[in-house]
Amino acid sequence: MTARQLTELPHDQQHLVHEVSERLAPSFAGVFGPETIERLVVDSMDQLLATAKTTAFLPLLTERFARERLQALGKLEGSLPSAVPAVLFLCVHNAGRSQMAAGWTRHLAGDRVVVYSGGSEPASEINVAVVAAMDEVGIDIRTEFPKPWTDEVVRAVDVVITMGCGDACPLYPGKRYEDWELDDPAGLDIESVRPIRDEIRTRVEALLASLTVSAD
């Protein structure tokens, strides 16, 4: 999809872009100019609109998605350097496996790892059985949302973990990749999701050990 210009957007979307860009600007002052922030906000909004069932939370989700992308772009360009390793979890819909892996990593590593997740064909919402299974172990992923992978995030991370997205997953020479063969929780009940959840925890613990990051 070709990126749209601000003037091409309906008035309500222009207003959203202005509001989100103004909220992001203080965090990236001296790093990115207004044009770069606005461009990424427009693109983030468009990508989320492609799968959205409702636009009620679009401003908040657009801000979160654009913030992640700006942070990744800053690391990539050297304006926001970070000594903390970054990991991207990718599956097809970013509604199950990758969300559980991201949740476990944040829970076990805290701010010692930067965590991203994405999908090759993002769903409109996270699998409810996955949310319930993670809630059982004290990890709340209800505020997470499916989103596509983006070029700047893939290029900025240290490790890309793929889960069933096959050839649709982005490949960059020299980057560390791991493919985790895991059952897809789509359509499964919570009893069937639990073993997948627990296996993902084991794999995340091994990943953190390989990054010399201690798990809580």
**Residue 169 annotated in active site:** yes
- HEC string of 158-203? CEEEEECCHHHCCCCCCCEEEECCCCCCCCCCHHHHHHHHHHHHHH
What is the crossing angle of helices 11-24 and 58-77, to 10°?
Answer: 50
Catalytic entry in 45, 87, 91, 160: 91
Catalytic entry in 165, 200, 204, 207: 165
Four-residue CA torsion sign, 45, 145, 120, 115 = positive
Cα–Cα distance for residue pair 215/205, rounded to 1 Å: 7
Tokens of 138: 């004290």
**Where do we find the tokens 């992308």?**
69
Catalytic entry in 169, 204, 207, 208: 169
The set of catalytic residues is: 91, 165, 169
